[in-house]
Amino acid sequence: MSPSILSKCLKFKVTTENERIVAVSPFEADPTPSSIPHVVPAAVHHRSRVARPSFRRGWLEGGADRARHKRGSDEFVELPWDEALDITAAELDRVRKEHGNDAIFGGSYGWASAGRFHHALSQIHRFLNCIGGYVSSYASYSTGAAQAIIPHVFGMNFLKMTWGEQNSWPMIAKHTELLVMFGGINPKNAQVSMGGVTRHETTNWLKQFSQNGMELINIGPQRSDAPSEAEWLAVIPGSDTALMLALAYVLETEALCDRGFLETHAVGYPTFRCYLLGETDGQPKAPEWASSICGVTPEAIRDLARKMAAKRTLITVAWSLQRAQNGEQPYWMAATLAAMLGQIGLPGGGVGYGYGAIGGVGVPLKRLDGMTLPQGKNPVSDFIPVARISDMLLHPGENYEFNGATRTYPDARLVYWCGGNPFHHHQDLNRLAEAWKRPDTIIVHEPWWTATAKHSDIVLPATTPYEREDIGRASSDSFLFHMPKLIEPVADARDDYDILASLARRLGSGDAFTQGRDADGWLRHLYDRFRQNVSAEGIETPSYDELRDKNWVELPIAGAEHANVPFEAFRSDPEKAPLGTPSGKIEIFSDTIDGFGYAEIPGHPVWREPDEWLGSVEAKRYPLHLVSPQPADKLHSQLEAALADLPNTRPSPMALHPIDGAARAIANGDIVRVFNDRGSCLARAVLSENIREGVAAIPTGAWFDPNEDGTDNQGNPNVLTRDIGTSRIGQGSSAHTTLVEIERSAAG
């Protein structure tokens, strides 16, 4: 029995017998273990595993466009590995010779193995770079809008800010008096993190905050997104920016903002102030104005603003808020609000993003080399924002705007996906299914027959982390793991590295890809380089063979002594420690953004009404606002094959207020049909007063499985979500800008 690692999720122990995983148990160093791993044995050995290399019959037989219209409904033909690799290599060679490498889209976005070597995205990108390059994607579905706006406001990479310029849990516990959580802080989401989570600490920290007497305010449509001790302001989805503006209005009109800080550490406040007071558009952003938009009383808004000015306040904003139309606005406005309070650079004060989104945010840690497989240099410079896949496939050659530039969608003739499931995380899956029919060829590596695999042409069976050896090392975790090979590969599955090395040899790039190393050679090479780097920082680690014997070690890099006060140097002397913005200061008004000329996002934060929300005309047809949070029982869609087999789990649960249920004669547990103009899915009604009236919540992660009339049987909310960019700044995912209606289903 030895620890292993669920794909980029968490650490736990695994028991094997006769080449099968038979049980899992918590890792002893974890104070609040997750229940997610309990289905790992069933998932690894599930009947939905891809057994052998499989080719869609219509593609294999050729003909007019290789029957692309049958993607998703065609049958598959199994072939031996050598023949499969020959055909795959020949198709890659054809596309690059006939159309160039800029006709290859190396999507491969998504959560893959926590192992540092068998990391699917690194593997496929290294391979594609070795054969001439590929069109890549920028940013993530989780934080696309944030990654675009934060550099304009704070002058730094958003992920760098997340890990290096935010208050740590111990600092919050010691200094913060008022924690204002836009979108909440939900320990459910913090079960997982990039590279793994060993100690799940978020729950205990939130308990400690309450015990310390800290006041917690949960602003969002669901009470369950924060501890029960928190005061709940049940805001209308999509209206957070309006609420923030009203809070700012109170600070300004009641002389509660820190004008000295605004003058010395920020630029553009006078221009923003004119908008705030209504001098530029005739509409003061007073609490009465905001109340009609966000559903929070004017009295509650004024009370909260006064508290924020009177106490050491930390404003936190969930990642979910920027996954919506105009998602850049609440992130920019939260920074503006924090600047008005003047507490940026003070311990426990200011603003922070993504607490609770993943397990590592808030953990005080000395950052070390991530031990990553070199991907090489991509000879192709073209890219798309990650959430614009359908647009690229449907509109090749058309122009689009992104962060101040006019770009052109490439003509992707071949899509190569390795380590991810776009038919889980993309929006408007029916539109994606249509777009997915456009390329000549789609190749995927998959352990399971996901919807992505079923909609592809070439499906190469890949191993799971339990069927290969690796090293586990998360950048937000103090543990270093050897990940032993626990069982032999299921059926004819092969490691991604073995598959890609075989293809590289067929394409004349074998030496460039492997550098003469097998998997064991790479593991030792990556680990030795990591040892040398951390040794230079005074941290000693065991040899590779010693780590194998120990299974895991904890590195001396965690603890409150590694917590820094975010923006401390900037606060102390903004001239000597300027930010990376053009002004060197926090940009409440950005000349750069203003120069883009985008009506939806001018030079300072503004309220822009979404196309779909409870205040829009569209709400007359579809009167419920759908939110699609992360699931509690898995990471995205991983393990879904086994979870779907459990009784009363599918279709997915849908939280709904009892008043909304009664208006539609829906009882607790009823199977309902959720629909709008984009599609429909089934769901299982869960009536609860912990969700705002007029809002429905379906977690993501169910495998897309439409029936004959197109209704998704499993409850994937992305058949309903809207596939538009957040704005021309970020072009991120707008999943939370979605209206629906619900009715009882005959299936129930």
**What is the set of active-site residues?**
109, 111
Q: Which two structure tokens, joined as six digits, stand for 162?
A: 């997340």
Q: Identify whether the C-beta of residue 138 lies closer than 8 Å to the C-beta of residue 382.
A: no
Q: Which two structure tokens, joined as six digits, stand for 221?
A: 């449509």
- Cβ density class 59-95: b for 16+ within 10 Å, e for less: bbeeeeebbbebbbebebeebebeebbebbbebbeeb
- Cβ density class 196-223: b for 16+ within 10 Å, e for less: bbbbbbbbebbeebeeeebbbbbbbbbb
Give which of 30, 2, 4 is closest to 470, Cα–Cα.
4
Give dist(CA 344, CA 245) in Å, integer. 18
549 Cβ partners below 8 Å, 6+ apart? none
Give dist(CA 601, CA 727) in Å, integer. 7
Q: Which two structure tokens, joined as six digits, stand for 471?
A: 């090293």
Q: Which residue has the tokens 């139309």?
A: 325
Give which of 290, 338, 347 is closest to 317, Cα–Cα.
338
Give dist(CA 54, CA 50) in Å, integer. 8
Give dist(CA 310, CA 292) in Å, integer. 26
Residue 140, number of CB atoms within 10 A of its CB: 20
Per-residue CA distances from 384 to 195, 255, 390, 437, 682 (Å): 25, 45, 11, 19, 32
Give dist(CA 476, CA 361) in Å, integer. 8
